Amino acid sequence: MALFVEVAKRKSFSQAAAALGMPISSLSRRISLFEQLVGLRLLDRTTRRLVLTSYGEAYYSQATRLVEEAQKAFDDLVAETKGPSGLLKIAAPPDFWVLRHLSQIVTDFSAQHEHIRVHVDLKPSTIDVVGGHHDLAVTIEEPRETSLIMRKVAEVANGLFAAPGYLDAYGWPKAPGDLATHRTIVATAGTETTWSLSRDGESISVTVGGPISCNSPSLARRLALAEQGIISSHRLSVERDLMQGRLEQVLSEWDLPPTPVYIVTSSRLLPAKTRSFIDFAMKRLPAMLAAATDGELWGTSNARKVGVTLT
């Protein structure tokens, strides 16, 4: 049952075999014997892909729960004797805020859990918890797979930022409506985007655009540093640029919709090592993000605090 769940989850014998640490031939033979035992074909195999039959789909949904409950019971039993243990694989984007804050979380967690080995996998692309064999992911992007479980750690306020050279050339926007005449770097190709700003109960929507667009926050930041326009970003991604004067915040009295920070897993039934890290991170990470976005790090020139909502 556990072998079938692993193959069905990854829809690949090779990926499942790698995760299980066994030969593909042995795994395929075990699944074939299992199908012969139940008298039903659960998987349709071709040279290019593997899909579940209708019987396989029905069995997978039930078997997954049973396998996860069995694994959790085993992990809890082991944890009772020596505490949480094993290899914990964490996926995260290679953003500056991750390098700065997640590293401290991992360091402190490791010091308190001597039997857990932690591996942090920085992924510049969209994080794939299942395909990447990760126990959890820390991300600001909502996963595309609806089956994944998201736990919101915090909400980090966003702002508008531009390089001093750009502002010298094009001027500082004095009000949200001024953004319509500025070069802005938006995520949607070839079309204009609407930015919604609010202040003291007042809300304004502004249509913005520019000659350059990209769907990568990291590249948008680099384009802003190259004086190509104004970007919308959460403060954590540009904190080093603000400290060093390479970017300035514009219209700082106006707020944009906040960016959630998530911890993502593939199941609600988690082994002790994963639960321990999530509990630890959800206690420590919100306070660290709050400290990183308040005025203490930016000095009195940016005294207005950029809020973090603890959840």
One DSSP character per residue, 41-72 reads --EEE-SS-EEE-HHHHHHHHHHHHHHHHHHH
Q: What is the model's pLDDT at position 310?
A: 38
Residues ≥6 apart with Cβ < 8 Å to 117: 86, 87, 88
What residues form DSSP beta bridges with 118? Answer: 88
Residues ≥6 apart with Cβ < 8 Å to 294: 305, 306
What does the mean pLDDT of the chain come to? 84
Q: At residue 246, does pLDDT exceed 70?
A: yes
Asked which of 114-123, 124-133, 159-168, 244-253 is least confident by mean pLDDT, the reply is 124-133
Instruction: Tell how strand 50-52 and strand 43-45 pair up.
Output: antiparallel
Q: At residue 222, does pLDDT exceed 60?
A: yes
Among 265, 258, 308, 256, CA closest to 287: 308
Q: At residue 81, does pLDDT exceed 80?
A: no
Q: Which residue in the block uniquely carries the two structure tokens 């930041």?
A: 221
- 36-71 b/e (C-beta count within 10 Å ≥ 16 → b): eeeeeebbeeeeeebebeeebeebbeebbeebbeeb
Q: At residue 298, does pLDDT exceed 70?
A: no
Residue 200 CA to residue 104 CA, distance in Å, equals 35
Q: What is the model's pLDDT at position 237?
A: 80
Helix (H, G, I), strand (E, B), or coil: what is residue 155? Answer: strand
Helices (H), 130-232: 164-170, 217-225
Mean pLDDT score, 142-165: 84
With cut-offs at 50, 70 and 90, classify the pLDDT of residue 305.
very low
Q: At residue 219, does pLDDT exceed 90?
A: no
Q: What is the model's pLDDT at position 42?
A: 92
Helix (H, G, I), strand (E, B), or coil: what is residue 185? Answer: coil
Q: Which residue has the higher pLDDT, 104 or 141?
A: 104
Mean pLDDT score, 115-124: 87
Q: What share of the chain has pLDDT > 90, as a percent? A: 37
Mean pLDDT score, 263-284: 88
Q: What is the model's pLDDT at position 80?
A: 67
Mean pLDDT score, 280-293: 80
